[in-house]
Amino acid sequence: QTILDFHALNNTRAESQKTRAADYTYQNARDIVVLVCANLYLQSVAGASRVQAAEAQVTTAQAIYDRAADLKKAGVVPGIDVLRAQVELQAQQQRLIFFRNEYQKQKLNLARAIGLPIGQEFTLTDAIPYAPMPPMTLEQAVGRAYLSRSDFQAAKAQVRAAESAKKAARGDALPSLHFNGDYGDIGNVPGQSHGTFTVAATLKIPLFQGGKVHGEMLQADARLEQRKSELEDLRARIAYEVQTAMLDLKSSGDRVQVAQSARNLANEQVRQAQDRFSAGVVNSIEVVQAEDALATADENYISSLYAYNVAKASLARALGVAEKAYKQFIGGGK
């Protein structure tokens, strides 16, 4: 039994810290998996929204075409208006076909990422509408990230492991104390045997290991400095990632508000253009232009909402709480 060995003691501490670093690295990998799957889910939700918007635009274009055909039969509008409405209808039908195909591919990507069996049918249950984030200052976010980020905790554990490894290298030059004991039974037959034992204590004093210990200490010191540099680089990168995520969140949130207002205006524009066309005040050009404006407004809103939700997921990852709190972040809860 070793009674006192500074080299072995500090080596044990170093390996213990490496084990903790491995646990933190595992948790960090789980956070990355959550971010990837959340992003793919949000892409699929955006794809579903584009399909719904395209279906509504096809319905509107069909109604305009039917109305134009009826007005032509009544002799109110020329044939060019019917032709123009038919072209717009077919254009919207093409967009719908494209978005349906993209949506199915996005669902396949999601199914592959989460490990669903090939051919497994599934339905997205969470529409994930717009939900504002609770207020949080940059200082609060960065401080929370330093406490919660698993990769940062892993880097700190690696620094502690390197410090213990350096102490272990220094321990090779220090004396070590060992205890040796043995107990047995000796004799020709069991009834005439008696016990035998030996006990010894050994003090080991290294005398000619100065060069070896010096070299090991230089190596350990270099590894320690490397780990410290990695830790400081990660500290700066975390602050950058948090600040970037918060900037993206602010910008995309403002875009959602503007896009929502623009979509409401575009819907009103389509309604008024339809009424004016039905009343014979204008031809179908104004209606087609209003429909195109609505399609653009819908796409801007869907894209900005997707960007906003991705920014929230990225912020959760930057804070190191992707697995624990991504639902609250996406849903806007605390």
pLDDT of residue 154: 93
CA distances to 106, 163, 233 from 225, in Å: 45, 10, 12
pLDDT of residue 76: 79
pLDDT of residue 44: 94
The tokens of 123 are what?
Answer: 């339905």
What's the whole-model pTM score?
0.78
CB 276 within 8 A of CB 270: no
Residue type, 217: M
Measured CA to CA, the distance from residue 87 to residue 93 in angstroms comes to 10
pLDDT of residue 210: 66
Give the three-state DSSP class for 77: coil
Give the three-state DSSP class for 334: coil
Q: Which long-range contacts (CB under 8 A, 24 or more apart) does 78-84 make?
A: 78/283, 80/283, 80/284, 81/283, 81/284, 82/284, 84/283, 84/284, 84/285, 84/288
pLDDT of residue 333: 46
Measured CA to CA, the distance from residue 53 to residue 306 in angstroms comes to 15
Instruction: Name 2's bridge partners.
Output: 178
The tokens of 98 are what?
Answer: 């494209």
Give the three-state DSSP class for 222: helix
pLDDT of residue 3: 65
Closest CA to 259 of 301, 289, 231, 224: 301
Closest CA to 54 of 86, 89, 87: 89
pLDDT tens by residue, the chain, 334 residues: 666 677 777 788 888 888 989 999 999 898 899 889 989 999 999 999 999 999 999 998 998 889 889 888 888 778 888 898 899 999 999 999 999 999 999 999 999 999 988 888 888 888 888 888 888 899 999 999 999 999 999 999 999 998 988 887 777 667 777 778 888 878 777 777 777 878 887 777 776 666 777 777 888 889 899 999 999 999 999 999 999 999 999 999 999 999 999 999 999 998 998 888 887 777 788 888 898 999 999 999 999 999 999 999 999 999 988 888 777 777 644 4
Measured CA to CA, the distance from residue 295 to residue 301 in angstroms comes to 10
- Distant-in-sequence, close-in-space partners of 126: CB < 8 Å, separation ≥ 6: 41, 45
- Distant-in-sequence, close-in-space partners of 287: CB < 8 Å, separation ≥ 6: 64, 85, 88, 270, 273, 274, 277
